[in-house]
Amino acid sequence: MLQGWIQIVLTLLIVIVTTPLFGRYMAHVFMGERTLLDPVITPIERMIYSFSGVRSRSVSVGESLTAGRSPSQDEMTGWQYAKAVLYSNLVMGILVYLILMTQGWLPLNPTRLGAPSWDLALHTTLSFLTNTDQQHYSGETTLSYASQIFALGFLMFTSAATGLSVGIAFIRGLTGRPLGNFYTDLTRSITRILLPMSIIGGLLLILAGVPETLAGPATATTLEGATQVIARGPVAHFEIIKEIGENGGGFFGINSAHPFENPNGFSNLLETWAMISIPSALIYTYGVFANNRKQAWLVFWMVFVIFAFLVGIAAVGEFQGNPLVNPLLGGQQPNLEGKEVRFGWAQTALWAVMTTATMCGAVNGMHDSLMPPGGFATLFNMFLQIIWGGQGTGTAYLFLYLILAVFLTGLMVGRTPEFLGRKIEKKEIVLASVILLVHPFAILIPWAIVFGFPDTLSGISNPGFHGVSQVVYEYASAAANNGSGFEGLGDNTLWWNLSASVSILAGRYIPIIALLLLADSMSRKQAVPMTSGTLRTDTRLFTGVTGGVILILGALTFFPVLVLGPLAEAFQIARGG
C-alpha cells in the first residue's frame, strides 16, 4: 500500500515543480518574447507565414499595446477568430474523412484493411478533429498506418493546437489585449510547444521500448507451438502527442494498457506527466499575462486540492477492493480487475482521474472495472471540465467560474462586479451561461433518449446502476471532448456514432464561439481603477468562494445522474449486492 501512495505523491510533486517552468515558457511564446528555440524555429515559421500570408509580427500585440503602438492589422476580432477556427476545422475534417474512406487504396496498409463504415468514419473524423478522440473501433484491426499517421496523427497536432490557441486568445481578451491571430497562434502552438515536446518525448518512449516502425505485423511461434500474429506500427510518435495534446486516442484498441504503447513504469510516469503538463502550466501562463502570479497560484492550488481529493477517493476505492469478492480471496485485496499488473491499483487510479481531469481520455486500465468511487471521480471530472480541463479551453472554463463567482459575490455584497479592472455585465454573464449550459444539454438529452428506448439503442453490457453509468459516461466523454469510455458498451452502431457526434460537436464548437465572443467583449472594455469598493479576486477568501461555486453548480446540475449511477452502485455493493 505504501509504495502505491508514494508513487502518487511523487508524480504530483513533479507536476508542481514543472508547472511554473513550462507556464513561463508558454507565456514567452505567446507574448512574442525570445526563447531558446528561436534560432531553429523562427526560420521555419517565416516560411510558413510567407506561404500562408500571415504576418508574424501580430504575435507581439500585447507588447505593442503596452509600448503605446497600434496592433497589427492581422489581429482578429472574436467573430473573425471563431470563423478561422471553424473554416480551418471544416477543411481538415473533409480531408481526413476522405483519407479514412479511401484507406484501402492508399499505401502503408500492410494488413490490407478496407474502409470503415461511413458512420464510423464520420464519428472518428469528428472525434479526432475536436480533440475528443473517442474511439468506437480497435485501431490495429480497423485503420491502416496511413490513416493513423496522415489522418489521425495530423489531427492530434492541429486539434490540440486549436484548443491551445483558443485558450490563449481567451487569456489575452481577459487581460485587456486583442485576441491575436488564429493562424499565428496555431502555428506557434505546434512549432514551439507540441512538436518539440513530441520529438523529445517520442525519443524517450522509443528508449523505453515503444515501437516505431512501418513494418507489418510480426509473426511468432508460442511455447505451445501455435502461431501468433502481433500487431505493431509507428506507435511512439503517435503515443506522445496523444498524451501531450490531450488527445487520448490509442494506436491499439486497449490504448495505453497495451505494452507497445506503455511498456513499463518509466513510460507510464512520462505519459502521466505529459497529460497534465500543458493544462496545469497554462494557469501559470495566465498569471504572467495578467501580471498577477499570486492569483494564478491560488487558482492552481484550488484545482489541485479538488484533484488530489478525487485521486484519493478513487485510489482508496481500488485499494480496498470489492467487498463482494474479498471474502473469496481470503481478505481485503486491491481491485485488479481490468488493470495491468505492471501498474497496479495506484497508478491505474491516478491515471484514471488524471485522464478525465485533463480531458485526455487515454487509459492504462479499463474504467468499466473501476469501483464506484473511481467511477464517481472520473464522471465528476468530465461534468466540471475544469480539473484541469481540456487543452486550452479547460483554463478558459476555469476562469468562467471566476467571472461567475465575481458576479454572484458582487450581488451579495452590493459591489460592482469587476474582473481584472473590467466590469462584468449582462453580455458576459449570458455568454458564460451558454457555455456552462451546453454541456449538460449535450449529455442529458441523448442519455434520456437512450433510456427511453433501452432495448434498441442502449448497448448496455451491465445491468442496473452500472449500466446507467456506462451510458452517461459515453455522452459525458463526448461532450467534454474527453474520449475515454466505460468499455463494454456496444457503441459501434449507427445510433451511437451519430448521437455521440452531435454531443462532440456541441461540446466543442458552441463553447469555443462563446468563449471568443466573451474574450472579445472583455478586451474592448475600459479598465477602471481599483478602489476600496473593488472586490479583489486574488485572495484566499475569494478563491474559496470560487471553489464553492464550482462544486455547487456541478452538484446541482449532475447530482441526480451521480445518484443513479456510481453512488447507487456503491450502496448496492455495500449492502451485499
In angstroms and rounded to an integer, the radius of gyration of the C-alpha atoms of the chain is 23
Which residues on neighbouring strands pair with residue 221, listed in sequence order? 227
DSSP 386-428: TTTTSTTHHHHHHHHHHHHHHHHHHHHHT---EETTEE--HHH
What is the model's pLDDT at position 532? 67
Give the pLDDT confidence score for residue 61 in this predicted structure: 40
What are residue 364's phi and psi, to 5 degrees?
-115, 15
CB–CB of 419/402 below 8 Å? yes
C-alpha–C-alpha distance, residues 356 and 361, integer Å: 6
The residue ranges of DSSP E strands in 483-531, in sequence order, are: none
pLDDT, tens only, 289-347: 999 999 999 999 999 999 999 999 999 999 999 988 888 888 889 999 999 999 999 99
HSE-up of 112 (CA within 13 Å, CB side)?
0
CA 566 from chain center: how many Å? 22
Contact 532, 387 (CB under 8 A): no
Report pLDDT for 144: 96
From the list 93, 126, 133, 125, the residue with the least C-alpha distance to 275 is 133
pLDDT for res 575: 85
Beta strand 227-230 pairing with 218-221: antiparallel
CB distance 528 to 421 below 8 Å: yes
Closest to 308 measured CA to CA, from 405, 398, 388: 388
Residue with cell 482521474: 353
β-sheet bridge partners, residue 419: 422
DSSP state of 364: S
**Which residues make beta-bridge pairs with 365?**
339
Looking at residue 451, its pLDDT comes to 87
**Residue 216 has which C-alpha cell?**
507489418
Write down the residue that cell numbers 480487475 correspond to: 337
CB-count exposure of residue 47 (10 Å: 0-12, 13-18, 19+): exposed
Place of cell 484550488: 302
Angle subtended at Cα 161 by Cα 160 and Cα 164, rounded to the nearest 5 degrees: 90
CB atoms within 10 A of CB 305: 12
What's the rounded Cα separation, in Å, for the pair 219 and 333?
A: 37
How far is the C-alpha of 369 from the C-alpha of 333, rounded, in Å? 15
> Which SS3 state, helix, strand or coil, does residue 218 take?
strand
The helix/strand/coil state of 511 is helix
- The one-character DSSP state at 535 is -
| Spans of the chain below 50 pLDDT | 58-72
Cα torsion angle, 473, 476, 479, 480, sign: negative
Q: Which residues contact 169 (CB under 8 A, 6 or more apart)?
A: 81, 179, 180, 182, 185, 516, 519
Amino acid identity for residue 304 in this structure: F
Position 568: which residue type? A
Domain spans of the chain, in order of start: 30-63+72-283
**Residue 322 contacts residue 66 (beta carbons within 8 Å):** no
CA distances from 81 to 93, 169, 512, 565 (A): 18, 9, 10, 39
Cα separation, 549 vs 552, whole angstroms:
5
Phi, psi torsion values for 180, nearest 5 degrees? 95, -170
Predicted pLDDT at 331: 82
Q: How many CA atoms lie within 13 A of 247 on its CB side?
A: 34
- Cis-peptide into 388, omega within 30 deg: yes
What is the structure's pLDDT at 155?
Answer: 97
Query: Which letter, b or e, does each residue of 341-363 get, where b requires 16 or more Cβ atoms within 10 Å of its Cβ?
Result: eebbbbbbbbbbbbbbbbbbbbb
User: What is the model's pLDDT at position 236?
Assistant: 96
Q: What nine digits make up the cell of 389?
A: 480541463
- Cβ neighbors of 104 (< 8 A, separation 6 or more) are 112, 113, 114, 115
Cα distances (Å, whole numbers) of residue 56 to 29, 84, 421: 12, 16, 30
Handedness of CA 130, 131, 137, 141 (dihedral sign): positive
CB burial class (10 A; 0-12, 13-18, 19+) of residue 6? exposed
